[in-house]
Every structure is written in C-alpha cells, then in structure tokens.
Amino acid sequence: MKQWISLALLIFVGCAGSSAYKPAERHLERQEYTQALRAYLRVLDPRIRDGKRYINYEKEAVTGMGIVYWRMQRFETAERIFQTVLEKDPFFGQAHYYLGMTYEGMGEDRKAIDIYSAYLELPRTDPYKTVILGRLDWLKRITYNRELQKAFQDESQLRTDQLDKQSVAVMYFTNLSQDAYWDPIQKGLADLITRDLKTIEGITVIDRYKINMLMAERNLTIADLANENLISQHAKLLDAYHIVTGSLMISRDMRMTLDATVFKADASVFPQRMDFSGSLSRLFKIEKELVLRIIDHLGVTLDINQRQRLLEVPTENMEAFLSYSRGLGALDQNDFERAQQHFRNAIALDSGFDWADSYLMLPEVWTATQNRNLVRVDHEVTRLVRTTSKGRVRMVYKPPPELLSTWNRLQWMSFGQNAGYIPGNDTREAFQESFEVGPGLFPVLLSQPPAPVPASD
C-alpha cells in the first residue's frame, strides 16, 4: 500500500559526506530501488521540526532519487522531482537530460524536444550537454519523420486555414553564384535566420530536420523549395503558415546580393519580397536586417532588450561560418566524423563561435544516444557519465588524443577534474527557502517496483 506525504519543505543547504553517494549508486546498479532511495534520503538527512520536514538540499541526491523513479517507470513522480531540481538549479544538465528522458517514457516526445533544446544554455563543461545534443538529434529525426509520414497520409485533407498564423519555415537559400565554394551558405544562412526567429516568443519555427525529411521524401532540390507552385503544398506538409525562400549571389570581388521572399500558405496577400546588397563581410548584419523585417511582417513587436539580443552575431569570421555550414551539411548526411571536423575547424578559426562549439561531441557519446530503447540509452550513457563520491558528474570515457582538438583537450581536462560540476545558483551557500512539494516526491513506503524493462538493441 502506498502512503504519500505532502511536504512543506524548509531547506537548509549543506554538504554531504565525501562517500555518501556511493551506496546509493551501488544499489541503483543492482536495481535495488528501495535501498537506493533510502541511501539518497540519508544524504538529504530529512528531519521534522514544527510540523515541517527539513533536508540538506543536494541537487545531485534529489536528482538521483528522480533517476530511481525513472528506472522504476514511475514517470509522473520522476517528472515532479526533476522539475523541482530545475526550479532551483536551471543549469544542471543531469536533471535536464533525465526530465527529457522522462517525457520520452511518457510518450510526450514534443515536450522532450523542448527540454533537450535548452542544452545550449548549459555550461560547456557539463558532461550532459553533449549527451543531450545527441539525444535531441535522434529524437528530432524520429518525431519529425513520424509527423511527416502522417501528413503525407492525410495530405488530401490538409487545409491552410488550420495552420498557426504565427508559424514559419525558413527554406534553404539557393546559391546563384558560379562558384560552388559558397554552397554551404545555403544551409548556414537559413540556420542563422531560423535560430534568430526561435528566440522570439510567439513565433513557431519549423526545424530544419523536418525540411530535410520533406526534401528526402519528395526528392526535392533546394531550387524546388523555392518553387512558387509548390509553396502551399510545402506549407501544409510542414505545418507552417509562412514560408521564407531566398537566393544569394556572390561575385568575384566579394560583393553579395541577397533576395528573400515571405509567402503565406493561402496566398491571401502578395508575397513580401526583400532585397539586400553589399560587401560579403556584411552578411551577418544583412541577416539581422532580414530577420527584423520578417518579424515585422509577422506582426510581432520587439522590446528593446529583445532587439538587442537579436542583433548579437555568433561570429564575424566568414571562414568559420563556412566551416560551421559544412558541418551542418555533413550532419544532414549522417556523416558524424566529417561534421565534427568542420565544427572543430570553425572553433579553431573563431574560438568564440558558440554555435559551432555546441555541436562538438565525441563519437562514443553520439552512439550511446542513438537508440529507440530508452533502457539501452540509459545504460550506455551511464557507462560514459559517472558520479564521483561527492555526487559530481564526470565523463569516464578517455578518447585517443588524435580525436581531440586543442579546445576538446582542454574541455576533457575539465571533465577529468570534475569541473563539470557547475553550481549556477550556488546550492552550497547557506540560505532558507520554503516551498510546497506535492504528493509523491518523498514517499514513506514504496510498493513493489515493476520488473525492469530488458535492454535490447
């Protein structure tokens, strides 16, 4: 029989003993879930005073309890626990990862994608950042493919009046130059625009993964994406009311002409056409001008802070941007190794290019996350990312030096030294905070846990 307590927690933050986490880890590995929960509770040191329960808040221990519930397939309880951790420590990668895995277990793939997509905000030294990227890539491919297949089946019944009026898909730009050297910008420029639009609340932006799948299923070229006769069809299949297409031409003297058009799926108004020209070195500023005009066309008003954030450029190094764009193309071809080479080269050319940095990943991490079976993914990721005796996460796998760029070597050193533990809002500092926790966070008695799901390929 389950007995639950609704707890009003007054948290005093402390520090667990250096070896306090090891018993919980051992019980978890042996699938001794009740013992694992009790071991984590000992770390939290629960005690009652004045009708309230006090604990020494340790985000690693609370997250560990959530992992126990996740492995018991008690996803609703796991969800509440991980959400509690992220409310206090929004940049703790392990809680982000397992909350996403929880939504996957609940069949809420779209929620999982939203959670995983926040990986960009995590510290670069958090080992779970690359784990989340790998899982996000796999889940996007599966989810968008499923959605597109359903759209193909229901294509005759799809209507433009059912589309979200604030949704937009940015198609790849056509390179009209005579030099194929600039072809990577076709995807790179669309990625710049897509990323910028995604930062604006109220606008729904279609992911490039979905555009890739549409191209593959219908055997479309980049030029086909801009075919005005196909715009309405593309819009309904992609579930986007607005379609942005464009082209660019770069001359030998490094001058650039960029044309863009915003179509509406129902052709209720004439397409909005925009032309830009100037030196190629102004590409990143021109892209911002284009984005602002698209936002204005959608009827969205930006405040000063939103506008300032939007005007920040990820890089001003054209060669670094080209390498990044080549990396995107390689990823789309499922060529992980070549993509990583391009992203590392982009970082070498511009060490501050965070977008390229966000794609850096070791092949073992990538492989571990590319599986439909959640139990298998959890098992493989656990082999790569371990906790220390103090509960701090670190990467275990040691790659051969030739696989690592200079930046990656420095990152790996930080992993090995447990620098992956980034407190954010420092939970080790003494403070008091009262908040109500719903039923199910800390059960007094556990019912018999369900049998573990067998791992399979």
Cα 230 to Cα 222: distance, rounded to the nearest angstrom: 12
Residue 222's CB: how many other CB atoms inside 10 A? 18
Cα 247 to Cα 387: distance, rounded to the nearest angstrom: 49
Q: Taking the domains of the chain in order of start, what are their residue ranges?
A: 7-144+369-437, 159-313
Residue 89: predicted pLDDT: 93
Q: Answer positive or negative: Cα dihedral of 75, 80, 81, 82.
A: positive
- CA–chain centroid gap for 443, Å, is 32
Cα 172 to Cα 222: distance, rounded to the nearest angstrom: 6
Low-confidence stretches of the chain (pLDDT beneath 50): 1-18, 397-453, 457
Residue 350: predicted pLDDT: 96
Q: Let me know: does 276 contact 292? Beta carbons within 8 Å.
A: no
Find where tokens 């667990």 sit.
16
The structure tokens listed for 13 are 């933050």
Cα 287 to Cα 291: distance, rounded to the nearest angstrom: 6
Q: What CATH class does 7-144+369-437 carry?
A: mainly alpha
Q: Let me know: does 363 contact 339? Beta carbons within 8 Å.
A: no
Residue 271: predicted pLDDT: 92
Q: Let me know: does 348 contact 332? Beta carbons within 8 Å.
A: no
Residue 18: predicted pLDDT: 40
Question: CA end-to-end span of the chain, whole Å?
Answer: 35
Residue 323: predicted pLDDT: 98
Q: What CATH class does 159-313 carry?
A: alpha beta
Q: What is the pLDDT of residues 215-273, one digit of tens each?
A: 999 999 999 999 999 999 999 999 999 999 999 999 999 999 999 999 999 887 789 99
Residue 385: predicted pLDDT: 85
Count how many residues are written for the chain. Answer: 457
Residue 267: predicted pLDDT: 82
Residue 393: predicted pLDDT: 58
Residue 58: predicted pLDDT: 85
Residue 12: predicted pLDDT: 38
Cα 369 to Cα 142: distance, rounded to the nearest angstrom: 13
Residue 400: predicted pLDDT: 42
Q: Let me know: does 192 contact 261? Beta carbons within 8 Å.
A: no
Residue 21's CB: how many other CB atoms inside 10 A? 23
